[in-house]
Copies of this chain bind each other. A is one copy, B any other.
Amino acid sequence: MTGPLRGRSLLSLDDLADAEVDLLLRTAAALREPRPEAPLRGVTVALVFLNPSLRTRLAGETAMADLGGHAAVLSPGQDAWKWETRDGAVMDGDAVEHLRDAVATIAGMVRGLGVRCFAGMRDLRADLGEATLRAIVAAAGGTPVFNLESAADHPLQSLADLLALRESLGPDLRGRRFALAWVPHPKPLPMAVPHAALRAASRSGMRITVCCPEGFEPDRESLARFRAEAERRGGGIEVSHDRAAGLAGAEAVYAKSWGAPSLYGRWEEERPLRDRHRHWTVDRERMAVAAPGARFLHCLPMRRNIEATDEVVDGAGSLVRAQARNRLLVQKAVFLETLRP
């Protein structure tokens, strides 16, 4: 029996039809129970980390081992060569290999290629355009590519979050209240996880509030697309600059920091704006205005007592541990559904 995802890449939740999302989440939940078979015996994938990783690396390696296959982890620039990404470049600088050659080499040796390639953090449009990820897909020449967090997306996080939300709030999330809460952080962070969270919530038809300081509104075009998606499914998106009221009535509060899109790439200018909102930490007081029993979500890694206080993170409504565990389950589901013979 070959499923609809066999041989496919996973670059974004946007690539998946509703039935395919449902299939992956059903498969993920079923994989909680250990199974004696080794359905991916003889299958090797490469996991390429252009940036550091804990959860994703361990989830990927454990997922393949659990399924009977193998994940080879590569960290170019650390234990391998540094890559050039510009087409046609005259390579007389630091980079000793072109991404095209490296990726084609890797793709020629394995059955699937996971890649982590964070945002450049200089040009918002370029980052939203996912140039590096697209170049990798092109160079892979048909070998499935799995996005392990790119400049502006993180589909495995989207799937893990969806699984946690459905198991916690119920299978039908339409019309449920979701708040994406901007939180402080010592550094400006990319838009990958905020967008992944908005993709998951809008795809589910949730009623979304993006609660952030002025200047931190997500990119207008992206927001319009998420809004259209949410509305098509009976939900919607509004933006609130009110630290307190923005979380009012929320059944799920997703805390995440990001750099101000209005000053993207000008991070020295952006810093004072970020520093002025250090009191946006999600604490018990802020959670008090949310719906009774509201869930708290965060993708980790988290700056505790900066992004959210210990009592919220470790509190009864926190889904943080479930989200992390789900990362393994959805990783297994993705490998199984795309790579099984």
Residues of chain A at the chain B interface (Cβ within 8 Å): 34, 36, 38, 41-42, 44, 46, 49, 52-55, 57-59, 61-62, 65-66, 68-70, 72-76, 78-81, 84, 88-93, 96-98, 101-102, 104-106, 108-110, 186, 300-306, 310, 313, 320-321, 324-325, 327-328
What separation, in Å, do the CA atoms of A74 and B321 have in the docked complex? 20
CB A30 to nearest CB in B, in angstroms, measures 16
What are some 20 contacts across the A-B interface (CB < 8 A)?
A34-B42, A54-B80, A55-B105, A58-B110, A61-B70, A62-B72, A75-B79, A78-B79, A90-B304, A90-B305, A93-B186, A96-B303, A97-B301, A101-B300, A101-B302, A101-B313, A101-B324, A105-B324, A109-B324, A109-B328
Identity of the chain B residue whose Cβ is nearest the Cβ of A56 in the assembled complex: B80
**Do A91 and B306 touch across chains, with their CB atoms under 8 A apart?**
yes
What separation, in Å, do the CA atoms of A90 and B309 have in the docked complex? 9
Chain copies in complex: 3
Please, which residues of chain B bring their CB within 8 A of the CB of A66?
42, 44
- New A-B contacts (16) at CB < 8 Å, excluding given A38-B41, A65-B72, A102-B301: A54-B80, A54-B106, A58-B72, A59-B109, A61-B70, A75-B79, A78-B79, A92-B306, A93-B186, A98-B304, A101-B300, A101-B301, A104-B321, A105-B321, A109-B324, A109-B328
